[in-house]
Amino acid sequence: MIIGIDVGGTHTDAVLLDRFKIKKTAKVITNQENLIKSLMEATEAIFDGEDPGELEKVVLSTTISTNAIVQGKTDRVGMILAAGPGLSPEMLRINEDTHFTSGYVNHRGIRVAGTNRGEVSGIEDTFKKEGINHVGIVGKFSTRNPGLETEIADIIDNSFRHISFGHRMSGNLNFPRRIATTYLNAAIWDTYNAFVKNVMEYVGRTNTTAPIYILKADGGTTGISQSAGYPGGSILSGPAASIMGILSLTNDSKDAVALDIGGTTTDIAIFAGGTPLLEPLGVTIEGHKTLIRGLLTKSIGIGGDSRVRYEDGRLVIGPERDGPAAAFGGPSPTPTDAMIALGLTDIGDRGKALKAVEEIAGVKNCSIEEMAKEMFDLVCRKITSAVNEMLLEINNKPVYTVHEIFEGKKIKPEVVYIVGGPARPMAPYIDKMLGFPSCIPEHAEVANAIGAALARTTTELTLLADTEKGEMTIAEEGIQVRIPDGFTREDAISVCEDKLRERALRMGAREDDLDIEVIEDQVFNMIRGMGYSTGKNIRIKAQVKPGLIAGFRKEASNVRQ
């Protein structure tokens, strides 16, 4: 049996799966002040009376880190940046505790300038005077050579509670994002680690030995104790839970669009051959662009409860929500009221819905039905044009080889999956506008919890081998080792895959779920002087891609036969 729990902003959903079939579900109100309490309530609601010995694992998707960032309940972080030349330091400063130090690594990972002990010690003293306990150390190109960051850490003594290193966050290039990611990771460190401790204490009081997993923004899981080292990974797991849920409820391998139409917003995600697309570099939270791996989602401020008004001679929808739909006692007319007025759904108080729509119809001087139609049409159109825009953006993503320009794969959705309150009334209109069929998955009300329960462990690694330097770096793992002259692309791929496998297993992956894929594979001849080849520059990135655990996929395919 597997438990999946999604702690959302308002509700906490839980699902108990027995042999991949839903056995029980529960929904409790989330207690924002005490998330552990919500977790306990939800768990007890589905697991009381069950045999703890049968429990294989528990997967949590929690808002703890997201909330800490959104609500500004973060710790002060002393940031030490080795920026070298480039953008102005003023553009890199992330908080008032940002300090710059000498030392610079170039694009090839060659150290151009070393650190300055006195400088670093001075910064350390400032942090101590200020009572700062958390430190972030980030160097430009530190993914190409982590040495400078660790050297800075060696200069400051270890009396700080925690040090986050830029090179551990991601193998991707992007110094400002590396700074933001490292900062956030350190800023939520205490909050997240306290949460992990509480969960473990609670688990200790129960009779289970089942491992606990945390859902990450990339739709994959990681063991809870391993997640404590990288709190950043746990932000924005909510949208990921929903996308993985839709994937598990539909379980096919088509190009597809997923829509989650909520009260205030509609979230759009895209599947390429049954795998959800990832953000190219990382997720954005509270204006911070990060290197945190995350599923690609686009959120628009349109939902069932969006406020609708007539303004400057035209209908305007959202992005704000004044409350529930008028049919449920809300103050303003909403798309939900329009759907009720049109008879597309029979929820709520039809009288109130009609009255609310009539209000705007009066302003425009048209019939209630005409206005309801116009409102409904506009909502559907806004959503579908956002979908088309997103597809266009994905299919027009810049590529850097002739081959990709001419042969690059395009996403051509065959189906749109729709979940959320207004899914049923809107589906027939949305699919017509998009030009491909829609599908409303069953059990969509607990999709998030199911998504968490069935997600596999994911991770990625980036390897850079430079045979001229005779060195190979895998920054996320802190690996920087010598390689022989004859080191080849094949060697690099095999090392990268091995290290990725080790990393995934350490994070709690099961052998069956190690669906490893090389996602970047480039080799460049390095030519210097007059046409003289001095070595090879090899770049490999591999991942365990987001997807569902192996047992479920097997089960599902059996069912289908």
Partner 1 sequence: MSDSKRKTGLIFFPAFDWAISPTHPEREERLLYTQDQVFEEGLLDLDNIVEFKPGLATTQDINRVHICVPDAPSVITQSHLISAGGAITAAEKVMQKEVDNAFAIVRPPGHHAMRVVHGARGFCNINIEAIMVEYIRHKYGPKKIAIVDTDCHHGDGSQDIFWHDPNTLYISVHQDGRTIFPGSGFPDEFGGPNALGYTINMPFPTNTSDEGFLFTLDNLILPILDEFKPDLIINSAGQDNHYGDPITDMSCSAQGYAILNDRLSPDIAVLEGGYSIESALPYTNVGIILAMAGIDYSHVTEPDYNPEAIRQTPRITQQIEQQVSYIYNLWKNRESQRAELIKGGEYLRRDKGIFYDTDGISEHQEETVRICNECGGLITIRSKASTGNNIFAVVIPGQSCPTCREKGEKIFKSTAEGSYNYIYFQDRDRDIFLVK
**Interface with partner 1 (CB under 8 A):** 84-91, 104, 106-108, 112-113, 140-141, 173-177, 289, 396-403, 405-406, 522, 524-527, 529, 531-533, 537
Q: Could you tell me how far CA 478 lies from the centroid of its own chain?
A: 23
| Residue with smaller CB distance to partner 1, 71 or 522 | 522
The dihedral of CA 356, 361, 363, 364: what is its sign?
Answer: positive
Task: Kindly state the tokens that stand for 381.
Answer: 């159109």
**Inter-residue contact 189 to 75 (CB < 8 Å):** yes
| Residue with smaller CB distance to partner 1, 392 or 558 | 392
Cβ 86 to partner 1 shortest distance, Å: 5
| Residue with smaller CB distance to partner 1, 204 or 398 | 398
Cβ 526 to partner 1 shortest distance, Å: 6
| Residue with smaller CB distance to partner 1, 226 or 537 | 537
| Residue with smaller CB distance to partner 1, 104 or 552 | 104
Residue type for position 128:
K
Cβ 350 to partner 1 shortest distance, Å: 46
| Residue with smaller CB distance to partner 1, 72 or 532 | 532
Cβ 27 to partner 1 shortest distance, Å: 38
134-139 and 438-439 strand pairing: unpaired
Cβ 99 to partner 1 shortest distance, Å: 16
| Residue with smaller CB distance to partner 1, 33 or 402 | 402
| Residue with smaller CB distance to partner 1, 62 or 142 | 142
10 Å CB burial of residue 500 (0-12, 13-18, 19+) is buried
| Residue with smaller CB distance to partner 1, 140 or 307 | 140
Cβ 401 to partner 1 shortest distance, Å: 4
Cβ 531 to partner 1 shortest distance, Å: 4
Cβ 527 to partner 1 shortest distance, Å: 5
DSSP conformation class of 279: P
For residue 59, how many C-alpha atoms fall within 13 Å in the half-sphere facing its CB?
Answer: 32
The dihedral of CA 358, 364, 368, 369: what is its sign?
Answer: negative
| Residue with smaller CB distance to partner 1, 525 or 558 | 525
10 Å CB burial of residue 118 (0-12, 13-18, 19+) is exposed
Cβ 407 to partner 1 shortest distance, Å: 10
- Give CA–CA dist 113/91, Å, rounded: 22
Cβ 104 to partner 1 shortest distance, Å: 7
What DSSP string runs through 115-146?
A: --HHHHHHHHHHHHHTT--EEEEEETTTTT-T
| Residue with smaller CB distance to partner 1, 158 or 396 | 396
What DSSP string runs through 173-217?
A: --HHHHHHHHHHHHHTHHHHHHHHHHHHHHHHHTT----EEEE-T
- Give CA–CA dist 52/49, Å, rounded: 9
- Give CA–CA dist 111/225, Å, rounded: 34
Cβ 403 to partner 1 shortest distance, Å: 6
> Residue 335, by phi and psi: left (phi above 0), alpha (psi -120 to 50) or beta?
alpha
- What CA–CA distances, in Å, run from 51 to 3, 23, 37, 54, 408? 13, 13, 22, 6, 51
- What CA–CA distances, in Å, run from 34 to 195, 214, 334, 428, 455? 10, 18, 32, 41, 26
For residue 464, how many C-alpha atoms fall within 13 Å in the half-sphere facing its CB?
Answer: 21
| Residue with smaller CB distance to partner 1, 465 or 504 | 465
Cβ 296 to partner 1 shortest distance, Å: 16
Cβ neighbours for 531, distance < 8 A, ≥ 6 positions apart? none
Cis peptide before 319 (omega within 30 of 0): yes
What DSSP string runs through 461-525?
A: EEEEEETTTTEEEEGGGTEEEE--TT--HHHHHHHHHHHHHHHHHHTT--GGG--EEEEEEEEEE
| Residue with smaller CB distance to partner 1, 363 or 399 | 399
**Inter-residue contact 99 to 121 (CB < 8 Å):** no
Cβ 24 to partner 1 shortest distance, Å: 45
| Residue with smaller CB distance to partner 1, 381 or 539 | 539
DSSP conformation class of 561: -
- Give CA–CA dist 215/238, Å, rounded: 9
Cβ 177 to partner 1 shortest distance, Å: 6
- Give CA–CA dist 138/198, Å, rounded: 30
